[in-house]
A and B are shown apart, each in its own frame.
Chain A
């Protein structure tokens, strides 16, 4: 039953908490996917002595129907719980996420000044499509599920676990979350890492400019991985993104950023 709606059902998508060192990293997965999206990076960080946690957000890894019943506040609440659990066993915590997860990481940074730094992988602060945010809430009552547009095959396809359809009510919630984060940008003053794919056609390339203009951050690094698509954490250059991540964390911990 579930395999019919999940791409790559055999992958491990459960939440995890891997306790290692005193520096913690919270990794938040994206829209309609599971923790499989952040598992490669999580393993990389764990091997380097970081404590890593990743929650499975409400409505994810079950059915698109269930996801359609979720509000964005529930996703934020789940992230907050995971963040608090991580702060209980770590001295300092970085929050990061892919796509919608990056958006949630920015939200957490805006309400918890103690967050050491934000790791945003293709953060979905603004998407390239202007019409989708307008249409999703209008169409959702009539078409609760829409087909995903076909895309050129990528390296990430084999590692990405998530719904094969797009739940539209949930998509409308994602756009509400975007607005909520946008309104809170001025409260973000932590160092920020952005890693984007050069072939990402989902998230707008203007996100770094929006953050520079509207947030209070003092330090930001932006890196573009030329041959990666939207899922930078699973695509061919994910290891490069992971190296940039550890370099960034070390830099922040050394007080250089």
Chain B
């Protein structure tokens, strides 16, 4: 059983490395999701780089390693600290920065947006303000008795897109409790986000509750919002069937709100 799980882990995590493309003075930070890897963001990242943008996609602490390592992570000390560092690095070489995130990555993007008003724009893919997985909400209690639980079936529409996903196949419970803590923090921060925001979500997403995206629209303090609603993608919409549309809309959003263009 454990051998099988580890074998699956090895197959799924062929290339979990972070990636970085150099380009213009407009930078985009790409943040992957819970138990994911930067590879989820690679297809979009390549399109953005083709538009001439500087792209950075860091690997978040505890991801792309082992369930045990992920279970040792703290939302603020590890994940927020990592994206703060990555943001500071990118901001030091770029005149302006956009932050994009998938699922938990979008929560971290919102965190950065609330704390760094100079960020030019946020791209929120499948904003995970509320998760559907009921077991996830039990994580704060389960974490004392259970190291992990099954992640649930994939909701991908393009089955080939699975190669872009990472994941352990299971959810680390302690880390899930940290994700819940991050969700709670970010929900309160939404009105403090004033950067233009692009929200992309799918009606077929099985991981976040349907009210997540509308709720984000209701609470965000941003004066300029763009919303793309997909119908043929699962949760990992940066790699699923409609990823090309997501990438095109993202590039158009960045072009529109980059100060250097206006």
CB–CB B213/A220 < 8 A = no
CB–CB A220/B227 < 8 A = yes
CB–CB A222/B225 < 8 A = yes
A225 to chain B: which residues have CB within 8 Å? 223
A209-B229 contact in complex given A222-B224, A226-B223, C-beta closer than 8 Å:
no
CB–CB B215/A222 < 8 A = no
CB–CB B214/A210 < 8 A = yes
B229 to chain A: which residues have CB within 8 Å? 212, 217-220
B23 at interface, CB cutoff 8 A:
no
A138 at interface, CB cutoff 8 A:
no
With a 10 A CB-CB cut-off, give which of B217, B231, B249 has the most chain A CB atoms.
Answer: B217
A217 to B228, CA, bound (A): 8
A223 to chain B: which residues have CB within 8 Å? 223-225
A171-214 vs B, CB cutoff 8 Å, 1 = contact: the mask equals: 00000000000000000000000000010000001101110110
CB–CB A224/B210 < 8 A = no
A166 to B204, CA, bound (A): 45
A5 to B59, CA, bound (A): 66
CB–CB A222/B228 < 8 A = no
CB–CB B218/A208 < 8 A = yes
B225 to chain A: which residues have CB within 8 Å? 208, 220-223
A208 to chain B: which residues have CB within 8 Å? 217-218, 225, 227
A147 at interface, CB cutoff 8 A:
no
Cβ of A43 to closest chain B Cβ, rounded Å:
25
Chain B interface: which size bin? 20 to 34
B248 to chain A: which residues have CB within 8 Å? 256
Contact of B214 among A212, A221, A251 (CB under 8 A): A212
B226 at interface, CB cutoff 8 A:
yes
A96 to B214, CA, bound (A): 22
Contact of B217 among A209, A217, A226 (CB under 8 A): A209
CB–CB A213/B214 < 8 A = yes
With a 10 A CB-CB cut-off, give which of B218, B228, B231, B248 has the most chain A CB atoms.
Answer: B218
B259 at interface, CB cutoff 8 A:
no
Contact of B223 among A206, A217, A220, A224 (CB under 8 A): A224
CB–CB A220/B226 < 8 A = yes
Pull 23 A–B residue pairs with CB atoms less than 8 Å apart, ordered by A.
A205-B218, A208-B217, A208-B218, A208-B225, A212-B213, A212-B229, A213-B210, A217-B229, A218-B229, A219-B226, A219-B227, A220-B226, A220-B227, A220-B229, A221-B224, A221-B225, A221-B227, A222-B225, A222-B226, A223-B225, A226-B223, A256-B248, A256-B252
Apart from A212-B214, A224-B224, what 8 extra A-B contacts exist at CB < 8 Å?
A210-B214, A212-B227, A212-B229, A213-B210, A220-B227, A223-B225, A225-B223, A256-B252
